[in-house]
A = this chain, B = another copy of it.
Amino acid sequence: MTTLAASKVKGDDDGPVLAKLPREPLHDRVYKELRRALMAARFTPGEQLTLRATAEKMGVSVMPVRAAFNRLVAERAVVLLPNGSVAVPQMSARRFEELVELRATLEGLAVRKAAKAITPAELDALAEISDELTKAGMSGDGELYLDLNKAFKFTIYEASRSPELFGLIEALWLQFGPFMHNYAKDVRAHGVEDCHREVLAALQARDGAAAEKAMTSDISGGAKFLASVATFAP
Contact = CB atoms under 8 A, between A and B. Distances in A.
Interface of A: 25, 66-67, 70-71, 73-76, 84, 95, 98-99, 101-102, 105-106, 109, 162-165, 167-168, 171, 175
Copies in the complex: 2
28 contacts: A66-B67, A67-B67, A67-B70, A70-B70, A70-B71, A70-B74, A71-B71, A71-B74, A74-B74, A74-B75, A76-B164, A76-B167, A95-B164, A98-B162, A98-B163, A98-B165, A99-B164, A101-B109, A101-B162, A101-B165, A102-B164, A102-B165, A102-B168, A105-B106, A105-B109, A106-B106, A168-B168, A168-B171
Contacts of A163: 98
Contacts of A95: 164
A110 B167 CA distance: 20
A51 to B, nearest CB: 12
Contact of A105 (B71, B73, B105, B167): B105
A121 to B, nearest CB: 22
A70 to B, nearest CB: 4
A234 to B, nearest CB: 16
Chain B CB within 10 A, most for which of A73, A76, A99: A76
